């Protein structure tokens, strides 16, 4: 058995609205969308136009600078919209499902008997290659690279995160097939991170051809970047790849069926959901029917993903490409009299500013209020308490703000992406946009040094 890596720094945010372990087949939505903003660094070029007919697996757009990387439709139907933002930036390519699933056909077979090139080409043609992301930088991997290692985290510790044991329970064969395919892509190991108190599924514990590692501790112990840091950190010139557990299933189904089966189990969570539970839906699905008659009322925020790193969407918005969670919490657009000075029991504080810390098992209905305005960005020691990595986050962020590439390298920018510093943003007294600053620094690194 692997040695347990015990992480003490971090923070579990006790939000109300955890999904019950009830799996429901969601009603098939009419609309689906792929959203280029889900892929940092992507410059999309369309493969279709409005009113074009597509099948599940047909390309919708591709990367301008790496045209072999295609992004394909999860369903068959008609392209009904290409929504754009500032400077005509493509935000969504929307497909209307026609009620009958038709598939593009790809190669199927045992990955252990296929060459690396055959596996890569199958992933590229099917549009599943973007499921694989690269560290450093957290961008879509390059098919030309051979990564040092591949990392998979089998558990998620983010607020109200889905239980991966429950989500993956019926996918043992597909998961193992996906592992076999990934094993051919690296010259090193496929690492699988397990949690001592959260991971019990035989799908993970009995997985073959992986190197398992045991972790314990609060969030962000489930972040793959934190696990990489403690197993085999990324140094300059090295590249590793990461894949989510549900995405391993998609890869496995590609090789067992020879088609793009984009099913995904999603946890609908949050204090403003009447019946938080798990739903079987698909990548890029509209959340409209999941939310209908299942919310407490108005004045709420719908998030694709978790409250720390997710993206705000409308009630008719779409599930993010990498997301397995939808969170609904109250908006916080109000002024609070005396704020932190009141001796409250219904507020959560990471610094024990409220007496609510005396009730450690309580779940809180937290909203989006910042509880204060932006202040000077100063050293407080707050970040280090929630970041279980041997880096200095405040000096790193300040080196990004002044554009000092050498300092950014020395202070660990190769090891982190937004989710790794999300808790720093949550506890920040200065209300600093930590994740945005980090992404700006990553973009500078890519521009100056390449990906």
Burial state string for 344-374 with b = 16 or more CB within 10 A and e = fewer than 16: beebbeeeebbebeeeeeeebebbeeeeeee
Whether the upstream peptide bond of residue 136 has omega within 30° of 0, thus cis, is yes
Residues 6+ apart with CB under 8 A from 366: 13, 15, 271, 307, 329, 330, 348
Q: Give dist(CA 247, CA 25) in Å, integer.
A: 19
Q: Residue 98 in contact with residue 77, Cβ under 8 Å? A: yes
What pLDDT is recorded for position 354?
64
Q: Using alpha carbons only, give the angle 405, 407, 408 rounded to the nearest 5 degrees.
A: 60
Residues with pLDDT less than 50, the chain: none
Collect contacts of 305-310 with beta carbons under 8 A, ≥24 apart: 306/158, 306/159, 306/160, 306/161, 307/13, 307/15, 307/159, 307/160, 307/366, 308/13, 308/158, 308/159, 308/419, 308/422, 308/423, 308/425, 308/426, 309/158, 309/418, 309/419, 309/422, 309/435
What pLDDT is recorded for position 375?
80
What pLDDT is recorded for position 352?
67
Q: Does domain 31-97 have CATH number 2.40.33?
A: no
Q: Give dist(CA 46, CA 71) in Å, integer.
A: 10
Q: Residue 436 in contact with residue 445, Cβ under 8 Å? A: no
User: What pTM was computed for the model?
Assistant: 0.95
Q: Which of 107, 105, 78, 110 is nearest to 94 (CA)?
A: 78
What pLDDT is recorded for position 356?
61
From-to residues of CATH 2.40.50 in the chain: 31-97
Q: Using alpha carbons only, give the angle 221, 419, 215 rounded to the nearest 5 degrees.
A: 10
216-257 pLDDT, tens digit per residue, is 999 999 999 999 999 999 999 999 999 999 999 999 999 999
E strand residue ranges, 35-165:
44-46, 53-54, 59-63, 70-72, 77-84, 90-97, 133-135, 139-140, 150-153
What pLDDT is recorded for position 346?
67
Q: How far is CA 335 from the centre of its chain?
A: 32
Two structure tokens written together for 21:
């372990």
């Amino acid at each position: 058995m692997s040695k347990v890596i015990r992480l003490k720094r971090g923070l579990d945010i006790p939000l109300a609205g955890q999904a019950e372990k009830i799996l429901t087949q969601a009603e098939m939505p009419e609309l689906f969308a792929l959203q280029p903003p889900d892929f940092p660094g992507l410059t999309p070029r369309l493969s279709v136009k409005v009113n074009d007919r597509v099948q599940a697996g047909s390309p919708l757009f591709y990367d301008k600078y790496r045209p072999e990387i295609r992004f394909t439709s999860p369903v068959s139907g008609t392209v009904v919209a290409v929504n754009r933002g500032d400077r005509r930036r493509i935000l969504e390519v929307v497909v209307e499902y026609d009620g009958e699933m038709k598939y593009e056909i790809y190669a199927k077979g045992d990955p252990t008997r296929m060459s690396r090139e055959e596996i890569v080409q199958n992933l590229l043609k099917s549009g599943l290659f973007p499921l694989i992301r690269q560290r450093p930088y957290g961008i879509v991997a390059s098919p030309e690279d051979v990564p040092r290692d591949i990392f998979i985290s089998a558990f998620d510790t983010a607020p109200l995160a889905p239980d991966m044991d429950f989500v993956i329970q019926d996918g043992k064969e597909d998961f193992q097939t996906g592992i076999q395919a990934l094993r051919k892509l690296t010259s090193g190991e496929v690492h699988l991170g397990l949690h001592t108190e959260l991971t019990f599924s035989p799908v993970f514990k009995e997985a073959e051809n992986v190197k398992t590692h045991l972790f314990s501790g609060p969030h962000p112990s489930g972040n793959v970047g934190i696990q990489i840091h403690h197993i085999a950190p990324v140094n300059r010139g090295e590249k590793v790849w990461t894949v989510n557990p549900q995405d391993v299933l998609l890869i496995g189904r590609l090789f067992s069926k020879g088609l793009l089966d984009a099913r995904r189990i999603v946890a609908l969570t949050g204090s403003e959901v009447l019946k938080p539970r798990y739903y079987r839906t698909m990548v890029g699905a509209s959340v409209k029917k999941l939310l209908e008659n299942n919310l407490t009322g108005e004045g709420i925020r719908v998030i694709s993903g978790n409250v720390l790193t997710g993206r705000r969407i409308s009630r008719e918005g779409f599930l993010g490409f990498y997301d397995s969670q939808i969170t609904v919490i109250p908006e916080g657009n109000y002024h609070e009299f005396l704020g932190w000075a009141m001796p409250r029991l219904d507020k959560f504080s990471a610094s024990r500013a409220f007496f609510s810390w005396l009730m450690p098992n309580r779940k809180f209905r937290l909203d989006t209020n910042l509880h204060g305005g932006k202040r000077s960005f100063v050293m407080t020691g707050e970040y280090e308490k929630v970041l279980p990595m041997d880096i200095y986050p405040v000096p790193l962020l300040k080196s990004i703000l002044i554009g000092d590439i050498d300092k950014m390298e020395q202070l660990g920018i190769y090891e982190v992406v937004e989710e790794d510093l999300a808790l720093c943003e949550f506890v920040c007294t200065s209300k600093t946009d930590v994740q945005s600053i980090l992404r700006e620094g990553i973009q500078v690194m890519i521009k100056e040094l390449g990906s």
